[in-house]
Amino acid sequence: MKKIDKRHFSLAKELIEIGAEQNMFVRCYPLLGEVPLVIGRKQSTKVEIPKTKKLALFVYVPFCTGKCSYCFYPKKVNPNQKEIEEYLVLLEKEMDLLMKNFKFKKIYALYIGGGTPSCLSPKQIEKLIKTIKNFPIEEDASFTFEVSPETLTSEKIEVLANKVKRISMGVQSLNDKTLFFARRRYSARDAYEKIFLLKEKSNEFKFVYNLDFIFGLKNQPLEDDVFNWLKLIQEIKPPAVTFYEKWEGMRDRLKIEFRKPKLERIVKLLSIRELIDKRMRQQLGYKRDGLYRYILCPDGKCNYCKTVWEDNFCLALGPSAYGYFAGMIYRNTSQLNLYRDLLRKSFLPVERKKVLSKKEITIRTLVLGLKATGTKGISVSREIEHLIEPLIKKGFLNKIGSKISFSEKGLLASDRISNWIIDNLELE
C-alpha cells in the first residue's frame, strides 16, 4: 500500500486552517430540520412539471434487520409481515395522492432505497415495483434497487432482474471485526458469497450491479480492508463500485456541533481516498461517475443522484423521504404512525415544506451542482465567484471562464468543501 506523503499533511492542515475539516454528508439543501412544519395541509393547486426539467422518483422502504453504527436514517427494525403489507398499501395510497396533485411527465430516474428494501419477500418486492410502475416511466429510465447481503437471495435477485436495471448492494467492509463494530448482520464470508451470487445472476439476466464500500469505520484496518476490496474488484470487475468516507454526521438532519476529527485521521482518510481513486482509474480501468462512484460501462451510472443534484424535480414516496420541485423542498414524516394516519385522512404525509429564497436556491445550485459535475464544472455568477474566492486561491476549486469545478485536490475533500461553502455563504 502507498505510504502517506507530505501532500496529505499539507492538505489536511489547509482544511483545518479554513475550517473545513468536518466531513458531513450533504444530500440536500437547505437543512431539512430547519424547514417549517406543515402537517395536515392539503396541496391547494395542481403542480405542473416544466418540459425543461427531468423528473426523478425516490421510494423509501423504512425497514431493516438492525441499526448500523454509522446509519442516520429512521427505520423499523425487524418488522412483522402485517407491518410490511400495511406499508405497501399506504404507499399505493400516497402514490394516488401524488398523481392527483401533480401533472406528471414521464419519470427519468427511479431509486428504491432504505432502510433495506431487500427485507421484503419476493412477492412483496413484486407488489412494490408493480405499484411504482403505475407512474408514467420513460422506457430507458434508470431504475436502482438497494439490497444488503443478509437479506439477498437468489429468488429475490431473479424477481428484480426482470424489473429493474440496476441492483446496488451495501457491502461496506470485507473485514469481520469491522462488520461487528459497525453492527452489520453478516460475516465477510457471507458478503463474498452474495457478491459472487450477484455477479453470477448479472451474467445470466444481464442487469447491472453496484457494490458500496465505506472507509473510516470504527476499528477498521484500513489498508487491509481496502486491499481486499481492490483485489476483489480486480477479480470480478463489477460494473460499478461506490466508495464513501464515513461521515461524521448527516448535515440535513440536525444542525449540531460534532466532534472535530484529528489531523492524523484526516490525513489517513485523504490518503486512502487518493489511493482508491488512482488504483480504480489507472490500474483497473474504471471511470469516475460523480464524486464517489466508479464505472466500467455507461449502464453503471446512477442517474438518480445526478438528476436530483442537477436541479431537476424529485418526488418522494415513503416515510422520511424528501423531494424538491419548483423551488420548494419537502420531507415526509418519519413517524410510521403519523404517516399512516395522514394517508388514511387523504393527506399527503408531508411533515416539512419550504419555498426557498433566492439565496437558498443559489447555495443549493452551487453545492449540489458541484457534487453532480465533479471536475467538469458549473457556471456561477461573479458574486458567487467572489464569495468562494478563498477556495479558488487555495486550489480546492478550479475556475475556467465562468465555470467553477472541483480540482483534483478539492475532489479528495469534496464533502468538507461542500460544508465550507454552506457555512460561509449562509453568513453573507
44's CB contacts (< 8 A; 6+ apart) are none
Distance CA 320, CA 339 (A): 9
265's CB contacts (< 8 A; 6+ apart) are 216
Q: Where are the alpha helices (DSSP H) in 237-302?
A: 263-278
Bridge partners of 143?
A: 110
Give the side-chain half-sphere CA count within 13 A for 209: 26
The three-point CA angle 233-172-112 to 5° equals 100
User: pLDDT of 321-363, one tens digit each?
Assistant: 999 988 889 999 999 999 999 999 999 999 988 899 988 888 8
User: pLDDT of 306-324, one tens digit each?
Assistant: 888 888 899 999 999 999 9
Q: How many CB atoms lie within 10 A of CB 260?
A: 13
Q: How many CB atoms lie within 10 A of CB 246?
A: 17
pLDDT at residue number 393: 93
Q: Are 157 and 196 in contact (CB under 8 A)?
A: no
Any idea what DSSP says for residue 37?
B
Q: What b/e sequence results for 25-57 when a residue is b if at least 16 CB atoms lie within 10 Å of its CB, and e otherwise?
A: bbbbbbbbeebeeeeeeeeeeeeebeeebbbbb
φ/ψ of 385, rounded to 5, equals -55, -40
Overall residue count recorded for the chain in this entry? 428
User: pLDDT of 78-112, one tens digit each?
Assistant: 999 999 999 999 999 999 998 888 777 899 999 99
What does the CA dihedral 326, 142, 335, 169 come to, rounded to 10 degrees? -150
Distance CA 387, CA 366 (A): 12
Domains located in the chain, CATH noted: 31-38+47-239+297-309 (3.20.20)
Q: Are 375 and 406 in contact (CB under 8 A)?
A: yes
C-alpha cell at 39: 402537517
Distance CA 420, CA 402 (A): 21
User: pLDDT of 121-131, one tens digit each?
Assistant: 999 999 999 99
Q: Is the four-CA dihedral 244, 249, 255, 257 of positive or negative sign?
A: negative
Per-residue pLDDT of the chain (428 residues; tens, 9 = 90+): 455 578 899 999 999 998 888 787 777 777 666 676 676 566 555 667 777 889 999 999 999 999 998 888 888 999 999 999 999 999 999 999 988 887 778 999 999 999 999 999 999 999 999 999 999 999 999 999 999 999 999 999 999 998 999 999 999 999 999 999 999 999 999 999 999 999 999 999 999 999 999 999 989 999 999 999 999 999 999 999 999 998 765 544 444 444 567 888 899 999 999 999 999 999 999 999 988 999 999 988 888 988 888 888 999 999 999 999 888 899 999 999 999 999 999 999 999 888 999 888 888 889 988 988 888 888 888 888 888 999 999 999 999 888 999 999 999 999 899 989 988 887 66
pLDDT at residue number 427: 61
* DSSP codes, 72-96: -S--EES--HHHHHHHHHHHHHHHH
Query: How far is CA 69 from each of CA 27, 66, 73, 185, 390, rounded to the nearest angstrom?
Result: 19, 10, 11, 12, 35
Q: How many CB atoms lie within 10 A of CB 124?
A: 19
